[in-house]
Amino acid sequence: MHVHQWRGEFDRAAESQQRARVLAVGDRQLAFVEQHVGKRLFDSGHYCEALDAFAAALTLRQRCGAPEDQLLSSRVAVQRAGELASRSID
């Protein structure tokens, strides 16, 4: 999943992430996947969609009582994606 994204192979990364979504067991795993979906979308310039994925990850992480560093990571990602999404709409 990560290797494709780092290589800029966003379509292949998306396929891997979709499989991971299906296979995820519980909120912790799904939150991990959603955070990485958001990162892929962010890196490919799809800020509105990234915002949705980061927000989903944050909600899941809050619900399962994730560690503070993971919550902070999602909060920062939501904020930054939101900023860039609002600029791309203007």
Q: For residue range 4-34, what is the model confidence (pLDDT) as tens digits?
A: 556 666 567 667 777 767 777 899 999 999 9
Q: Which helix (H) or strand (E) holds 67?
A: none
Between CA 53 and CA 77 the distance in angstroms is 10
Q: Report how far residue 41's alpha carbon sits from residue 77's, in angstroms, rounded to the nearest whole number.
A: 11
Residues of the chain above pLDDT 70, percent: 82
Give burial (CB, 10 Å; 0-12/13-18/19+) of 44: middle
pTM exceeds 0.75: yes
Q: Print burial letters for 56-84: b (CB count within 10 Å at least 16), e (below 16).
A: bbbebbeeeebeeebbebbeebbeebbeb
Computed over every residue of the chain, the mean pLDDT equals 88
Q: Domain spanning 2-89 has what CATH number?
A: 1.25.40
